[in-house]
Amino acid sequence: MSGVDPVPSELASGPDPVPSELVFASDGLLPAIIQDDDSGDVLMLAWMDREAVRRTLTTGRVTFWSRSRQEYWRKGDTSGHRQYVRGVRMDCDGDTLLVRVVQIGAACHTGTRTCFTGREVAALVGDPDADA
């Protein structure tokens, strides 16, 4: 839990803000897609457990669960590249979150604005009129 501020007591003592409809995988995690609230750019994907979701919903800053370090991390606590929550939605199955944020600085640990910048994968482009 290094580098992550505790949830203020007035938020921690209220009802559980985590929707009961959320479906966590057998490892207790679900993917969270992080999207820039202004541009709509997909910035990154990371993982949350129930506690990370709770922290995200109650603090206004995005918190993740690091699978490699086995600890919580809040974007920007070490890099200064922070994410401020603007809205959270779950998908139709309840097993993925979409978190809209104001991104300060780079979203990717490599220093790029998004984790998808410059990482194009060759793919055949489909033609929606071809199947008409």
- What residues are designated binding site for Mg(2+)? 91, 93, 95
Q: Please state the residue numbers annotated as binding site for Zn(2+).
A: 92, 108, 115
CA angle, residues 58, 60, 61, in degrees to nearest 5: 110
Sorted by sequence, the CB contacts under 8 Å of residue 76 that are 6+ apart come out as: 61, 82, 83, 104, 105
3-state secondary structure of 9: helix
Interatomic CA distance for residues 20 and 113, integer angstroms = 33
Q: Please state the residue numbers annotated as binding site.
A: 91-93, 95, 108, 115
Interatomic CA distance for residues 126 and 60, integer angstroms = 39
Interatomic CA distance for residues 49 and 58, integer angstroms = 14
